[in-house]
């Protein structure tokens, strides 16, 4: 630290040292940061001691809650045992092997996804979706279909902010001045019934129109050029949009008809956020690829995964003698510390029944929202998973909204405290007065 820096406040050091993601530089330089210093359970404290309930669980990711020493102990032991080794050239490590086996077992037993076969690890949901983007192209090249490369996403979707993932994201603000989306990425209609249904259109008719839009896009581009369709089972960042009735059933039929791969982006919905282990099971999805991150370690370690089907694996395996190594990967793919942290995280989820807690308390939160706010003239919609901590309020007279998606271990007390006074608009935390 320089002599001058010793005289700066932490806030000023932040202004002079950091670039913050998804932050107005002008506003940040004027107002400075909010510095979070500690946390326990569903609560965090800023460095001035103000305590908040974090209604967003970080960025939808701290599923087991803050301050879980067990995960720190698992990380410390893994660092003492090894610290790091790569998984290139057939190298491996015990934590990541056991994690891959365990997650695949959960997907098969809890989500009915017995067709899923292998896992590739990265460090973020964004890089996982970049991996998926490359894999679907690689897959079709191996099958001798070099023209089948395009990927369809949806307007309003969020799939990350790296180059391919940022293109798949269907929110224009993330594309501005970055020359995104790249060629080969297409966007179809946003299936949000509340916002985009036409006057007099019921939910079934709306679903038919959304699927019709997708079918028309495939026809215009040519099914022989479309490699994959990517979707969040519940659209998160765009506004917590539930799929309309029958949507995924009909979409999956259309994709199968045209031999188009289905990527289910479960970065947010995975590991209990919806009251089920995975939204793949909740909505009876049969994806060819599943994207996982966030809840995999409850964000205590940066770890993501691309889970591929046996159908894709067979093509990769059978082409290997001719193609040689699969030339993709990252320095931190399959990190042993990440594997150990994720295993400890899953232990807590299972031991404490946090998925079941998310289901029951999510239903309680839903009922409380409807009881207290359903007749409010300024609330246009209350939506979320059938059960689980994934809720959203839409305010009719404001451009912003309120997210209610706390840690999946939150109980009735925290929900009641969050309703102690009128919620602020669009803020992820609310103050508890003491």
| 270-324 confidence digits (pLDDT tens) | 999 999 999 999 999 999 999 999 999 999 999 999 999 999 999 999 999 999 9
Q: What's the CA gap between 372 and 194, in Å, rounded?
A: 20
pLDDT at 111 over 80: yes
| 28-79 confidence digits (pLDDT tens) | 999 999 999 999 999 999 999 999 999 889 999 999 999 999 999 999 999 9
pLDDT at 401 over 60: no
Predicted TM-score (pTM) of this structure: 0.93
Task: Tell me what the mean pLDDT of segment 222-233 comes to.
Answer: 98
Task: Tell me what the mean pLDDT of segment 118-143 comes to.
Answer: 98
Q: State residue 426's pLDDT score.
A: 37
Q: Is 302 in contact with 58 (CB distance < 8 Å)?
A: no
Q: Is 275 in contact with 358 (CB distance < 8 Å)?
A: yes
| Backbone dihedral angles phi then psi of residue 336, each to the nearest 5 degrees | -65, -35
Burial class (CB in 10 A: 0-12, 13-18, 19+), 374: exposed
Q: Confidence class of residue 389 from pLDDT cuts 50, 70 and 90?
A: low
Pairing mode of beta strands 391-395, 51-54? unpaired
Q: State residue 207's pLDDT score.
A: 98
DSSP 111-160: H--TTEEEEEEESSHHHHHHHHHHHHHHHHHHTT-TT--EEEEETT----
Q: Is 328 in contact with 316 (CB distance < 8 Å)?
A: no
Q: Is 179 in contact with 146 (CB distance < 8 Å)?
A: no
Task: Tell me what the mean pLDDT of segment 240-245 comes to.
Answer: 94
pLDDT at 397 over 80: no
Q: State residue 431's pLDDT score.
A: 40
Q: State residue 383's pLDDT score.
A: 80
Q: Tokens at residue 282, please?
A: 């909740």
Q: State residue 148's pLDDT score.
A: 98
Compute the Cα dihedral for 61, 66, 69, 75 and give only its sign: positive
Task: Tell me what the mean pLDDT of segment 108-121 comes to.
Answer: 98
Q: State residue 93's pLDDT score.
A: 98
Q: State residue 398's pLDDT score.
A: 37
SS3 263: strand
Q: What percent of the chain has pLDDT over 70?
A: 89
Q: State residue 313's pLDDT score.
A: 98
Q: Is 170 in contact with 161 (CB distance < 8 Å)?
A: no
Name every residue whose Cβ is closer than 8 Å to that of residue 367 and which is 6 or more positions away in sequence: none
């Amino acid at each position: 630290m320089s002599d001058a820096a010793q005289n700066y406040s932490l806030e000023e050091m932040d202004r002079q040292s950091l670039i913050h993601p998804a932050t107005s530089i002008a506003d940040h330089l004027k107002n400075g940061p909010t510095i979070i210093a500690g946390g326990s359970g569903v609560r965090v404290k800023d460095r001035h001691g103000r305590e908040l309930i974090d209604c967003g669980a970080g960025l939808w990711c701290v599923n087991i809650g803050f301050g879980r020493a067990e995960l720190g102990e698992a990380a410390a032991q893994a660092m003492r045992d090894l610290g790091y080794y790569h998984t290139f050239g057939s190298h491996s490590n015990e934590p990541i092997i056991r994690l891959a086996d365990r997650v695949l077992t959960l997907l098969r037993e809890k989500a009915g996804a017995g067709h899923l076969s292998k896992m590739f690890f990265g460090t973020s949901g964004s890089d996982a979706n970049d991996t998926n983007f490359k894999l679907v192209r690689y897959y079709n090249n191996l099958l001798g279909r070099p023209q089948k490369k395009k990927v369809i996403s949806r307007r309003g979707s969020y799939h990350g902010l790296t180059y391919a993932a940022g293109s798949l994201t269907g929110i224009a603000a993330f594309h501005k001045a970055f020359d995104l989306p790249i060629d080969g990425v297409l966007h179809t209609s946003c299936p949000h019934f509340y916002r985009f249904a036409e006057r007099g259109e019921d939910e079934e008719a709306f679903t038919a129109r959304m699927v019709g839009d997708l079918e028309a896009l495939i026809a215009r581009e040519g099914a022989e050029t479309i490699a994959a369709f990517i979707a969040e089972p519940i659209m998160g960042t765009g506004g917590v949009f539930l799929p309309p009735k029958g949507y995924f059933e009909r979409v999956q039929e259309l994709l199968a008809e045209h031999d188009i791969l289905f990527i289910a982006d479960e970065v947010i919905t995975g590991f209990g956020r919806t009251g089920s282990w995975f939204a793949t099971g909740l909505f009876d999805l049969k994806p060819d690829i599943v994207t996982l991150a966030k809840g995999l370690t409850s964000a205590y370690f940066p770890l993501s995964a691309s889970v591929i089907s046996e159908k894709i694996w067979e093509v990769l395996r059978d082409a290997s003698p001719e193609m040689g190594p699969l030339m993709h990967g990252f320095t931190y793919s399959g990190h042993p510390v990440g594997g150990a942290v994720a295993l400890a995280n899953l232990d807590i989820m299972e031991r404490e029944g946090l998925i079941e807690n998310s289901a029951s308390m999510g239903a309680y939160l839903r009922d409380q929202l409807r009881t207290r706010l359903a007749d409010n003239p300024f609330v246009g919609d209350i939506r979320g998973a059938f059960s689980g901590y994934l809720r959203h309020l839409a305010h009719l007279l404001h451009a912003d909204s309120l997210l209610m998606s706390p840690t999946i271990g939150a109980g009735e007390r925290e929900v009641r405290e969050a309703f102690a006074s009128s919620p602020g608009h669009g803020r992820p935390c609310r103050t508890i007065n003491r």
